[in-house]
Structure 1
């Protein structure tokens, strides 16, 4: 969802830096980018590792969630190129799809409602719906099960290395559309395709019509 359907990672990086500064901590862009695609519990571990056991975890993340929500409510959240066209194409082909996200349930619902996408998916799997978040395969295995789909016949679309690792470990074919974290040797090897936007995924599905006709798509 974040960084693939929604142009939300830049808001998250801005919010992380603002929240850290309010508490007297300077969070570098590199540190903030390192949290992209990570579940909240892993982000907490990384923050303690970077700033020590005295880092005010709960207050920091409380401020972060409130700041992100404020930025979204101010109308700063936008969708990524090709989202509506791709969803319309999947509707036309009657292809079911789900979201498998590292974000929590409240943030996921809030963001999707803000951009009018809340009712466009057959299933939504958040961090609260699994025991282990990305890069573990559980989010994708849970999402495919919710759709009644087999991972081998499901296409994943991802923007982050951790999401790509999760999809690959779950046995899905994955298209990578990098957002803030560019493709590298590892992610290019794991990805079935690397595209600049979801617009190219529409063309991919059209070209592979027979192969993908009954393959759900996950985000």
Structure 2
């Protein structure tokens, strides 16, 4: 349910990988390491089709490695262990300009949340390393929902935890599955071309190439049609 938010008309919901952190390379590396360990194969372009989805869906539906729930869970857990190891050894960077954008939102007291297909354990680990945990009072990860993106459940839960109705949420995404999830949830979507070309993100309300391209006034305009709700 919507709370009484008089100072701001919308909340900001962020995907994690490719939006807050530049992590595509590390995720792909961890999948390929897992494949080598398990003597499995991965298609060359599988990341383009699966980035932003839950591990379980990737393992069972796209890679076709297993249909056994217990084995799928074990593979997913191992993948996240490998990813964390890579990040510990190589580090991880924020996407260009995102820290400044988060600071602008914080100055305006606009509430922020993370909604990701990544496990919260790894999200918290990276947030601590990068020193930005304070920006996100609400974090929804892979373990919080049964149905991952493109199902609307992840973003609906995030909005609920933040105390906003979906129509007053703007989502920042980089993947088609995430854009679809947010639109199904009834939210505004701004897509970044950090991991996908613009033509893959055409269902978003706005597509930008950099955080530097975005002003808070531009976001305000997206909510003109719900300003009286």
- TM-score (normalised: structure 2): 0.81
Deviation of the 1:60 alpha carbon = 4.2
Q: Classify the secondary structure of the residue corresponding to 1:74.
A: helix
Q: Which residue of 1 aligns with 2:34?
A: 19
- The partner residue of 2:171 within 133, 156, 164 is 156
RMSD: 2.5
Deviation of the 1:115 alpha carbon = 1.5
Deviations 1:86-126 (A, max 9, x none): 11100111111111111112122112222112221121111
Against the structure 1 CA distance between its residues 108 and 80, is the aligned structure 2 distance closer, same or farther, given a 3 Å change threshold?
same
Kindly indicate whether residue 206 of structure 2 is the aligned counterpart of residue 193 of structure 1.
yes
Which ranges in structure 1 are unaligned for 5 or more consecutive residues?
A: none
Which ranges in structure 2 are unaligned for 5 or more consecutive residues?
A: 1-15
Q: Using the alignment, how far apart are the partners of 1:46 and 1:164 within structure 2?
A: 20
Q: Using the alignment, how far apart are the partners of 2:220 and 2:204 within structure 1?
A: 20
Within 5 Å, give how 1:46-125 maps onto structure 2.
Answer: 46-47=61-62, 49=64, 51=65, 57=72, 60-125=75-140
- TM-score (normalised: structure 1): 0.84
Within 5 Å, give how 1:140-155 maps onto structure 2.
Answer: 140-155=155-170
Higher mean C-alpha displacement, 107-116 vs 82-91: 107-116
Q: Classify the secondary structure of the residue corresponding to 2:86.
A: helix
Against the structure 1 CA distance between its residues 34 and 70, is the aligned structure 2 distance closer, same or farther, given a 3 Å change threshold?
same
